[in-house]
Amino acid sequence: MTTTGQPRLLGTDKPPTLVSRLMDNRWAGLAGLLVAVLAPFVIATPYALSVMTSAAIFVMLAAGLNIVVGYCGLLDLGYVAFFAVGAYTAGVLTTRVGLPLLATVPAVLVVTVIAGVVIGAPTLRLRSDYLAIVTLGFGEIIRITANNLDVTGGPSGIYGIPSLTANPVVFYYVTVAVVALAVLGAARLGRSRMGRAWRFIREDEDAAEAMGVHTYKVKLAAYIAGAVWGGLAGVLFAAHLSAISPTSFTFLQSALVLMAVVLGGMGSIPGVVVGAVVISLLPEFLRDLADYRFFLFGVLLIVVMLVRPQGLWPARSKEALK
């Protein structure tokens, strides 16, 4: 395939190389899924499975935050709040009410949507930097509330949340399937009319309004979508660990998810997935650096913004020719 055969391509951009075509291709997604499916055949110790399951859940979080930060350009520093809301809703309903885990999903959807509206509705009218710090405050509010209430088990949290299956391998595959669907869903939303509107807002809010995009409603939609992704990831998290406590939902978690999104490439689905896998697996490979890990993450965040703000695997503005 050469550029000369394409009548409308008169720009100065370089022709696609083999690597860029591979990266842009939908095969990248399938390849990633294949890696996830084959991983247990390489290593399947209980510990490795647990780490991989956690990494998959982290990918889902990153895909959800990417809707808010990457597509819509809204900085959410309390994203873990929705993760907590999902996990606690599932935990409370299974242990206190006795519902099976799957039956909590509709309730989780409802509760996270409500949480998204409650947080988003007052703050999305504000300047974007106010939003960042208010979401940070909300993340703390949720965590402290979980810490203080009896129904959430206070500081010790909730124990004995039933899993979907006793077999960790099966649970890993269930998680991978759910996460793959979530990533695909986020990607499809991103390419749709709504996803384009998100990007218009990110690029220029006034121009988006002038084209008829109700920026407030559309931002709220992004926020709610992010909340739903986070909440569902929370259900997986609760089922995976069978115990949750407020310490799992600190600002540190929100910041790590943000790092995955920024490092990988805001708005780029493959970038965000790779970023999330790297951020969640890196500690396993760099045990010696444990003390410096978060310090390095912070420095990395600055360096990426200064040197390569589009991330390691950026979203392309160039459209594929069909």
Partner 1 sequence: MTQLVWNGLFVGSFYALVALGYSMVYGIIKLLNFAHGDLYMLGAFVGFAILGAAGGVSPAMTLPVLLAVLVATMAGTGLAGVALERIAYRPLRHAPRLSLLITAVGASFALEYGMRAGAGADPRVYPVRLDGASFEVLGARVTLQQLVLIGLAVVLMAGLNLLVTRTREGRAMRAIALDPRTSRLMGIDVDAVISRTFFIGSALAGAAGVMAGAYYGKIDFLMGFLIGLKAFTAAVIGGIGNIPGTMLGGLLLGLLESFGTFWLGGEWRDVFAFGVLILFLTVRPTGLLGERVVERV
Partner 2 sequence: MSLLEVEDLRLRFGGLLAIDGLSFSVEEGEIVSVIGPNGAGKTSAFNCVTGFYRASSGRLALRGENLLGLRPSAVAARGIARTFQNLRLFGELSVLDNVRAGAHLWLRQGILDALLHTPRYRRSERECTEQAHHWLDFVGLRGDRYGAARNLPYGEQRRAEIARALARRPDLLLLDEPAAGLNQGEKAEMLDLIRRVQGLGIAIVLIEHDMGLVMDVSERVVVLNFGQKIADGRPDDVRKDPAVIAAYLGSEAHA
Indicate whether 166 belongs to the interface with partner 1 (CB under 8 A): no
Tokens 């121009």 belong to residue: 207
Nearest approach in angstroms of CB 314 to partner 2 is 10
Query: Which of the stretches 5-13, 34-42, 139-147, 252-260 binds partner 2 when contact is defined by CB under 8 A?
Result: 5-13
Query: Which of the stretches 4-12, 23-31, 45-53, 119-127 binds partner 1 when contact is defined by CB under 8 A?
Result: 119-127
Residue (132 or 177) nearer to partner 1, CB: 132
Half-sphere exposure of 96 (CA within 13 A, CB side): 12
Query: Which of the stretches 17-25, 193-201, 254-262, 277-285 binds partner 1 when contact is defined by CB under 8 A?
Result: 254-262
User: Binding partner of residue 24 among partner 1, partner 2, none, CB under 5 to 8 Å per kind?
Assistant: none
User: First vs last Cα of the chain: how many Å apart?
Assistant: 12
**Are 260 and 177 contacting, i.e. CB atoms less than 8 angstroms apart?**
no
User: Binding partner of residue 155 among partner 2, partner 1, none, CB under 5 to 8 Å per kind?
Assistant: none
Cα torsion angle, 25, 27, 31, 37, sign = positive
- Residue 134, C-beta contacts closer than 8 angstroms, at least 6 positions apart: 119, 123, 126
What does the per-residue mask of binding to partner 1 show for 257-296, with x meaning CB under 8 A? -x---x---x------------------------xxxxx-
Q: How many residues bind to partner 1 according to rule CB under 8 A?
A: 41
The rounded distance, in Å, linking the Cα atoms of 251 and 258 is 11
Tokens 């100065």 belong to residue: 12
Query: Which of the stretches 89-97, 107-115, 212-220, 270-278 binds partner 2 when contact is defined by CB under 8 A?
Result: 212-220
Q: Is 211 exposed, middle or buried (0-12, 13-18, 19+ CB in 10 A)?
A: exposed
Sites of contact with partner 2 (CB under 8 A)? 8-13, 185, 188-189, 191-197, 199-200, 203-204, 206-215, 317-321
